Amino acid sequence: EPEVTQTPSHQVTQMGQEVILRCVPISNHLYFYWYRQILGQKVEFLVSFYNNEISEKSEIFDDQFSVERPDGSNFTLKIRSTKLEDSAMYFCASSDGTGPPDTQYFGPGTRLTVL
Amino acid sequence: LAKTTQPISMDSYEGQEVNITCSHNNIATNDYITWYQQFPSQGPRFIIQGYKTKVTNEVASLFIPADRKSSTLSLPRVSLSDTAVYYCLVALYSGGYNKLIFGAGTRLAVHP
């Protein structure tokens, strides 16, 4: 069964450093998403991406965040200058958009630890 | 997006049927009901979704009454591995995608 993959599984960084989280969505999917989950809290929507542009973003997704689909398979989330409060699990998801409804499939996540 | 209300936690025993009910009083005509499962330190996993009446797959059943103001996820004969958080979501399909808004979910504990 096709699945979303994410690398790395765990990233440790110093405050102020840039990090890039990588995702490989399911191959025939057209819509891509990033969510995050701070330890013990809810899963929060960050951004959706379609046709090489952002469809929607949340208040969390400020100027420090950016997304990119650099080639036909990868989807990345960049945090330019990490803060302590960016420590969380980051989940990538994808969907094929052939709904309704639209079913999103999530990756295993990247645990980001900012020191 | 319609707000959902579901129990914070539930306990069950292996082999029992578990029913988790979610209330979504403000569900709109175009909203779909979707359930996800999440294990610790893993991504949410899609379980089932529906619009009305009953939907069944190899994992669960979803019961939606005619007024659609609530829904019930039914897990037949649970095992220890079904211990997880279960999320009920109501999502508007907006011509290609929907933004998923997760609540706190229901933490199901299955005991031997």
Distance in Å, alpha carbon of A44 to nearest chain B alpha carbon: 7
Q: With H, G, I as helix, E, B as strand and everything else as coil, classify residue B71.
A: strand
Band of the pLDDT at B84, cuts 50, 70, 90? very high
* Phi, psi angle pair for A50, to nearest 5°: -150, 140
Q: Which is higher by pLDDT, A99 or A3?
A: A3
Print the domain residue range for B23.
9-111
Distance in Å, alpha carbon of B55 to nearest chain A alpha carbon: 14
Residue A97 has pLDDT above 90, yes or no: no
Residue B94 has pLDDT above 80, yes or no: no
For CA atoms A36, B25, A104, B85, give the dihedral sign: positive
Q: Are A112 and A11 in contact (CB under 8 A)?
A: yes
Give the total number of structural domains in chain B.
1
Topology (CATH level 3) of domain A5-97 = Immunoglobulin-like (2.60.40)
Residues B61-70: tens digit of each pLDDT: 999 999 999 9
For chain B, the average pLDDT equals 91
- B2 assigned to some structural domain: no
A79: which 2 tokens?
């945090």
Residue B111 has pLDDT above 80, yes or no: yes
What is the pLDDT at residue A114? Answer: 97
Q: CB under 8 Å to B97, separation ≥6 — which residues? A: A31, A33, A48, A50, A55, A95, A97, A102
- B84 assigned to some structural domain: yes
Q: Are B68 and B79 in contact (CB under 8 A)?
A: no
- B3 assigned to some structural domain: no
- B4 assigned to some structural domain: no
Beta-carbon separation of B45 and A106 below 8 A: yes
Give the N- to C-terminal CA distance of chain A in Å, as an integer.
37
Beta-carbon separation of A108 and B45 below 8 A: no
Residues B9-43: tens digit of each pLDDT: 999 999 999 999 999 998 888 888 999 999 998 99
Band of the pLDDT at B101, cuts 50, 70, 90? confident
Residues A37-95: tens digit of each pLDDT: 999 899 999 999 998 999 999 999 999 999 999 887 899 999 999 999 999 999 999 99
Which of A102, A103, A106 would you mutate first to test chain B, the one with the most B CBs within 10 A?
A: A102
Q: Are A25 and A92 in contact (CB under 8 A)?
A: yes
Least confident of A15-24, A57-66, B26-35, B90-99: B90-99
**Structural domain boundaries of chain A?**
5-97
Q: CB under 8 Å to B69, separation ≥6 — which residues? A: B23, B24, B25, B27
- B94 assigned to some structural domain: yes
- B88 assigned to some structural domain: yes
- B1 assigned to some structural domain: no
* Phi, psi angle pair for B81, to nearest 5°: -70, -5
Whichever domain contains B18, its CATH number is 2.60.40.10
